Amino acid sequence: MNRSTIELEIPEDVFEQASDIARCGNRSVESVLLDGLSILFGSASDVEVSPNSLVDFSDAQLWEVVHRRLSWTQDSRLRTLTALGKEGRITEQERQELEHLVAVVDRQMLLRTKALVLMKQRGHDIEAYLELGV
């Protein structure tokens, strides 16, 4: 993979959050920020994260899993393909792409659910997060 180097100024609160996550996960701040950028631009994959490995994650890392979503481009493509499918105008290649994106969403949901269960076991108020009104 080719890489580019840039100098980037970030707000102090973002740096502190990244530092906390890095410290809890025994990682570098750079790797935490790269993961965040990868998530934003769609190159991150949950494939390497096993639901069972989440027990070793810090609370900050679990919240990162809970808040992870498709990248903007993946979400936009998923919506487009879903609309094409509903209209009956989807090609075989597009159908396969749609199935892949749905599988990614399913995997994220599995990881998010496991992370929330672990957070509840650790004493966090998950009902308030989910706005269940319990």
The answer to whether position 4 is within a domain reads: no
The answer to whether position 63 is within a domain reads: yes
Q: pLDDT digit string (tens) for 35-59?
A: 777 655 655 555 467 888 888 888 8
Show the domain range for 112: 12-130
* Residue 25: pLDDT band with limits 50, 70, 90: low
Show the tokens assigned to 67: 């808040």
Mean pLDDT across the chain: 85
The answer to whether position 30 is within a domain reads: yes
Query: Which is nearest to 115 in space by CA: 30, 57, 32?
Result: 57
> How far apart are the C-alpha atoms of 20 and 85, rounded to whole Å?
43
Q: pLDDT digit string (tens) for 77-107?
A: 999 999 999 999 999 999 999 999 999 999 9
**Cut 0.75: pTM above it:** no
> How far apart are the C-alpha atoms of 69 and 67, rounded to whole Å?
6
The answer to whether position 54 is within a domain reads: yes
DSSP type of residue 25: T
Domain count of the chain? 1
The answer to whether position 7 is within a domain reads: no
pLDDT at 68 over 90: no
The answer to whether position 121 is within a domain reads: yes
